[in-house]
Chains A and B, each alone.
Chain A
C-alpha cells in the first residue's frame, strides 16, 4: 500500500516538474499576483494617510513633519467617548453574534431546523448595512412598529412618544443592528465549514459517538465540534470584529452623534469643507487603526485565555450542563431574532408600498405602487453598473482564488502564514483608514477609468471572502482523485478542469453568490473609487437614505436584497438539481 502511494507521489512530482506548459506557469505566478493586488493598494492607501497624519500634505501647502494633526485630535471634545463607543459596540456586537451563532449551532446541530434557520437568516446577509439600519431603526423608534402595535390601546399615545432608541448614547441600537447583521454571516461561514464532505462527516460522526456516550447534544457540540470548528472560524470572526469597530453606515444611522463613533467622526472630518481638517482626519484614521488592532489583539488574547481555562473541562467527562434549559433559551432567542428580523422585513415591504401612514396605525392608510414606479424609472443604469461590476469582480476573484489554491497543491506546500494574513488584510484593516489614501493614488495613476478603479477596489473586499469560502473546500478535496488522474497521464491542466472543478461545483457557486453579495453591498469603496460617476443600487440607496423618504429607501433596499438573493438561491438550488439528475 505504502509503495503504491509512494510511486503515485513520485509520479505526480514528475508530472509537475516536467510540464512547463502555459497553465502551470500561470498557476505558479498567480500567488505573487494576488499578493501584489492586495498589498499595494492597502499599503499605498495607508502611506497616503500616514504622511498627512504627520503633517505632510503638499496640497494644503504643508511640507514639514509635525504632530499638529495629533494635537488637534487629542483636543477634540469627547474623543474618549468616541473611542469607548467604537470599542464597546464593536466588541459586544461581535461577541453577541458569535455566542448566538454557537448556541444555534449547538442546539440545532443535526436537526433540519439548522438549515431552515439559515435560510430564514440568509437574506439579512445581503441587505446592505444602511438599509438594514433603517429597517431596524424603524422597528425600535418611538414611532416604530413595536410602539405602533402597542398604541394607542395600551399606551394611550396619539403622537409618537419621546424615546431613547435609536441614537441612544450607549450604542445599544448599533449593537443590535450589527449583531443582527453579522449573525447570519458567521452562521453561513460555520455551515460552510461543516458542509465540507470530509470534515463535516467526521465531525458529525464524532458528535454521534458523543451522543451515544451519553453527552447532552449541546455539551457534545461544545466539547467535540467547537475545538475543531473554531480555528476555521477565527478569521471570519476577526474580520467581523474589525468591521464592527470601524464601520460607518450602522453608527451613522443608528448611533448617537454627540459624539458619534470614531469612524463616523473621521468620515465627517475627511468630508469637511475645511480642508485643513484632513490632517486631523488622517491622524484619526491612524488612531482607528490602533483601536481596531488593539481589539483584534484583545480577541486573540482572550481566545488563548479561554483555551487555557477550559481545556480541563473538555475531558472532565461531565455530560450535562443544564442542556435542556439552554436548548429552551436558544429556541426563545432564535425565535426573537427571527421575529425581529421578520418584523423589520415586513416593515420594509410595507413602507415600499405605503401611502399615508400616520403614527398609531399599524397598517398604512392606502397602498400604492408609486414608489416602485418612480424608483424603477431611474434604476436602469445603476442596475447595469451593479451587475457589471459585481460579475466582473467576482469572476476575477474566483479565477484568481482557484489558481492560487491550485498552485498550492501543485507545489505541494501550503500558502505561507504571511500570504494568508495578507489575503485577509483588507478585511482586518479598517477601510476608512486606507480608502481615502487609495483614491488619491488612483487619481495619480489613472483618473479616467472609473469602472476599472471601482472593480479593483471591490476586488480588495470580494477576494478575501471568496478565498475564505473556497479555500477550505479546495484544501479538503480528496487528493487521491488527482493522483489517480495524474498517474493515468493527465496534465495538471486537465486534472484541474476535469477532476477538481467538477467536484467544487457547489462551493464555487456559493463563493460566487457571496462575492456578488459583497460587491453589491459596497458603499464607501464605490463612491470614492468611482468618483461618484459610477452609480450602483447601493450608492443610490445610501444617498436616498440620507436624503429622501423611507418609502423610496425601502424600494431600493428591496432591490438590493433581491439581487444577491437570486444568486444565493441559484447557488443552493443548482447543485442539488444537478446532482439529483446525475444520480437518476
Chain B
C-alpha cells in the first residue's frame, strides 16, 4: 500500500518536472528569438543613423554599429584544429567588440551558398542567416555571378593595406576572377604531399616520386597505393588541376594562355586531352584499380592511416603533423612538396548581400586579417595556414609575432615549396569535372 502511494507521488512529481522543463525550454527558445529580433531591429534603426552622421569616417561607423552583436560564421568544420582557431578568434572579438562569433560548421561550403540562394528566392533580402562565410574558387564564382555577395567592403578594411594589394594579385584575384572588394583574404594554401616512410622505403622501384611523371611510374610499380578524392571534391579537383598545369609546362604559350581564360567548346578538347591521356595511364594503377574513388581528403587521410594508401596530398600542410599528434596518422608520415611545382591559392571570407549583421561581420573579417590573428594562425601547432600579410608592410614588433619554433618531424620542412603554380580560370573546374564524369564517372 505504501509502495503504491510512493510511486503515485513520484509519478506526479516527475510529471511536474517534465512540464516545468518544457516550459523552461519553451521560454528559453522564445527569449532567444526575441533577443535575436531585438538585435535585428536595433541594427535597422542603427542603419538609419548611418545616413544622419555622414561626417564620421566609414570605418568608425562600422566600429560603432558592429559592436555587441552576433555574427554567424559559416565555415567548413571538418578539422578540429581549424575549429579551435575559430573559437580562439571568437574569444578575441568577444573581448574586443563584444561580438558573439558563432561558428556554423559545414561539411561543404556549397551548403551556405544554397542557403543564401534559398533566402534570396524567399525574398529575404536583409535578414539572412549567414553573416560571414569562408569561401573561394568555384563557390565565389557562383555567388558573384548570382550577385549574392556584399560588394566593395573588403578593400576598405584597415588591415587590408598590410597585404600590399597593389603588388599582390593573390589577394585581389580569386582563381583568376577579380574580387572587387567582395571578399577579404584569410590565408594561403599550397598542395602538399605526404607519405608513409615505412611503406615507401626508398628501395629500387619504391622511391619517393617528386614529379608528376615519377608519380605515374611509382604508381605503376606499386599498384593500389595512391588515389585521389572523386571530383567534384575540392582536393581531387586540385590534384587534377596540378596535373593539368604540369602537363602543359612544355606546351606552346598560346595553349598555356588558354588556362587563364574561360573554357569554351573550342579550346576544351585541346587543353584537356593531355590530362585524359595521363589519367588513362594512371587510373588502372590506382587504389581499387581506379573503379572507386574516395569521397574526401579526410577519407584519403584515413586510408593512409589504414596503410591502404602510401602517398596522399592535402591543401593544408599543417593538418599532417596535427593528425600525427592526435594519433590520426602514424609516426612514420613525412611531408614534402613536388619539385615540378605546387598548386597555390588564397582563401577568403565574404559577406552575403542579405547578411543580418554586416558591420559586425566586417569587424570580424578585419580582426582575422590583423597581424595578431594571422600570426596565431600561421603557428604550426595552432593551424599553420600561411599568412596573407606581406612582411615588409609590418612593424618589427608585428614581424616578431611570426617567428616560429622547431617544426614537427612530420611537418613540411620550411621553404620546401620551390615553385608555385597558379590556379587556372574557375571555368576549367566545370570543364574538367564534366569530362571526368563522362570518362570515369561510370565504371565498366
Contacts and interface: CB of A to CB of B under 8 A. Distances in A.
Given A256-B292, A448-B127, A354 B327 contact: yes
Contacts of B122: 440, 443-444, 447
Contact of A582 (B3, B121, B442): B3
B129 interface: yes
Contacts of B129: 447, 450, 531, 533
Contacts of A57: 121
B108 A274 contact: no
A29 interface: no
Interface in B1-50: 3-4, 6-7, 18, 21-22, 25-26, 29, 32-33, 36-37
Interface string B57-82: 00000000000000010101111100
A351 B142 CA distance: 40
Contact of B296 (A371, A532, A547): A547
A500 to B, nearest CB: 15
Given A59-B117, A169-B291, A547 B79 contact: yes
Interface string B268-306: 000000000000000000011101110110110010011
Interface string B349-385: 0000000000000000000000000000000000000
Interface residues of B, number: 82
A353 to B, nearest CB: 10
Given A77-B437, A271-B114, A355 B142 contact: no
Contact of B308 (A78, A143, A439): A143
A448 B33 contact: yes
A42 to B, nearest CB: 19
Interface in A439-493: 439-440, 443-444, 447-452
A532 B110 contact: no
Interface in A510-535: 527, 531-533, 535
Nearest to B225: A159
Given A275-B142, A532-B106, A543-B105, A59 B121 contact: yes
A58 B441 CA distance: 31
Given A257-B295, A448-B37, A546-B107, A160 B142 contact: no
A59 B83 CA distance: 33
Interface string B218-229: 000001100000
A473 B79 CA distance: 47
A552 interface: yes
A550 B121 CA distance: 38
B307 interface: yes
Nearest to B439: A77
A577 B329 CA distance: 48
B118 A169 contact: no
Contact of B80 (A256, A531, A548, A582): A548
Contacts of B293: 257-258
A512 B306 CA distance: 40
Contacts of B21: 391
Nearest to B113: A273
Contacts of B232: 272-273
Interface string A359-399: 10000000010110010001000000000100110010000
B438 interface: yes
Nearest to A527: B111
Given A77-B437, A258-B443, A451-B29, A543 B77 contact: yes
Contact of B292 (A169, A531, A542): A169
Contacts of B26: 392
Contact of A272 (B110, B124, B295): B110
Contacts, number: 193
Contacts of A258: 230, 291-293, 440-443
Nearest to A258: B443
Contacts of B3: 581-582, 584
A57 to B, nearest CB: 8
B105 A578 contact: no
A329 to B, nearest CB: 33
A378 B326 CA distance: 16
A370 B326 contact: yes
Contact of A162 (B138, B224, B305, B437): B224
Contacts of B80: 374, 548, 552
B164 interface: no
B331 interface: yes
Interface string A333-373: 00000000000000000000011111100000000101100
Contacts of A114: none
B391 interface: no
Interface string A75-88: 00110010000000
Given A162-B288, A167-B292, A273-B139, A551 B327 contact: yes
Contacts of A252: 295
B297 to A, nearest CB: 9
B114 A169 contact: no
A95 B3 CA distance: 47
A167 B288 CA distance: 10
Contacts of A552: 80
B158 to A, nearest CB: 30
A444 B121 CA distance: 9
B344 to A, nearest CB: 21
A270 interface: yes
Contacts of B295: 252, 257, 546
A265 to B, nearest CB: 10
Contacts of B340: none
Interface string B107-136: 110111111011111111001010000000
A81 B441 CA distance: 11
Nearest to A257: B230
B307 A273 contact: no
Nearest to B128: A447
B327 A543 contact: no
Contacts of B74: 532
A141 interface: yes
Contacts of B119: 443, 447
Contacts of B123: 444
A519 to B, nearest CB: 14
Given A258-B293, A271-B108, A548 B331 contact: no
Nearest to A577: B7
Interface string A172-193: 0000000000000000000000
Name the residue in A270, A450, A535, A548 with the highest tally of chain B Cβ atoms < 10 Å from its Cβ: A548
Contacts of A275: 113-114, 117, 142, 146
A19 interface: no
Contacts of B120: 59
A97 B76 CA distance: 37
A96 B330 CA distance: 39
A578 B10 CA distance: 10
A411 interface: no
Nearest to B108: A271
A531 B18 contact: no
B328 A159 contact: no
B441 A77 contact: yes
Interface string A60-98: 000000000000000001100100000000000000000
B215 interface: no
Contact of B328 (A439, A443, A532, A549): A549
B29 A356 contact: no
Contact of A273 (B110, B199, B292, B296): B110
Contacts of B255: none
Given A258-B292, A581-B4, 19 more contacts: A59-B120, A59-B121, A143-B307, A162-B288, A252-B295, A257-B292, A258-B442, A271-B114, A275-B146, A357-B327, A388-B25, A391-B22, A392-B22, A448-B36, A451-B32, A546-B78, A546-B296, A547-B79, A548-B298
23 contacts: A77-B438, A159-B307, A159-B308, A162-B289, A167-B288, A169-B443, A257-B230, A257-B293, A258-B230, A259-B441, A271-B108, A275-B113, A275-B117, A358-B330, A370-B326, A371-B326, A444-B123, A531-B104, A540-B105, A546-B295, A546-B296, A549-B328, A551-B326
